[in-house]
Amino acid sequence: MERNEALALVKPHLKQERYEHTIRVMETAIQLAEMYGVDVHKTELAAIFHDYAKYRPVEEMKRWIQSSYLPKDLLHYHHELWHGPVGALLLERELGIEDQELLEAVHYHTTGRTHMTDLDKVIFLADYIEPGRKFPGLEQVREAAWEDLNKGCWMASKNTISFLMSKNQPIYPETFYAYNALTKQYKRS
């Protein structure tokens, strides 16, 4: 599948603002992929599709989680986490995408995971640092992203956990596992 076809498939599922975010994530992800030796075409597609299910109704996403192989514990956390896993499932079922590495990058782009591939890291980080984002601590993560992929992901993970804790929000366990794994990888790099 080529870029224009993927964009045409995703655009009807996104609000204009989110579509523009998707374009920025794609552009950022391609730059990161080129820098860190990650498959650019696969990165491009994963970035385009990362928010495929973002605006699906909460009840629909809940039904998909309940009736599929997706982890049921997702239902105990904020529905903002659901669009990654549900999106990966729907890319497979609705669009026939079978590339597991691409699907996993979409699945884990909000939470991260213990054994993140470089593609996972690029999509996770590109979504976090794309030029349209603005929040405290972002510039330091942007700088780190271009120095060391693991450091950038570690900082993004750390900031996400700190932010959720400051809001007294529950944190999905896989996010903690991702942070721990990234801490070990960053210290080794």
pLDDT one-digit tens code per residue, 107-136: 999 999 999 999 999 999 999 999 999 998
- In angstroms, rounded to a whole number, what is the distance separating the alpha carbons of residues 156 and 28? 15
Q: What predicted TM-score, i.e. pTM, was given to this entire model?
A: 0.96
Does residue 81 carry a pLDDT above 70?
yes
Task: List, in order of start, the domains of the chain with CATH numbers.
Answer: 3-133 (1.10.3210.10)
Q: pLDDT-derived band of residue 186, with 50, 70 and 90 as boundaries?
A: confident
- In angstroms, rounded to a whole number, what is the distance separating the alpha carbons of residues 140 and 135? 11
Eight-state DSSP code of residue 114 = T
Q: Contact, 137 vs 159, CB < 8 A?
A: yes
Question: What ranges in 37-96 are assigned the alpha helix state H?
Answer: 40-49, 58-66, 83-95
Q: What angle do CA 152, 21, 99 make, to 5 degrees?
A: 70
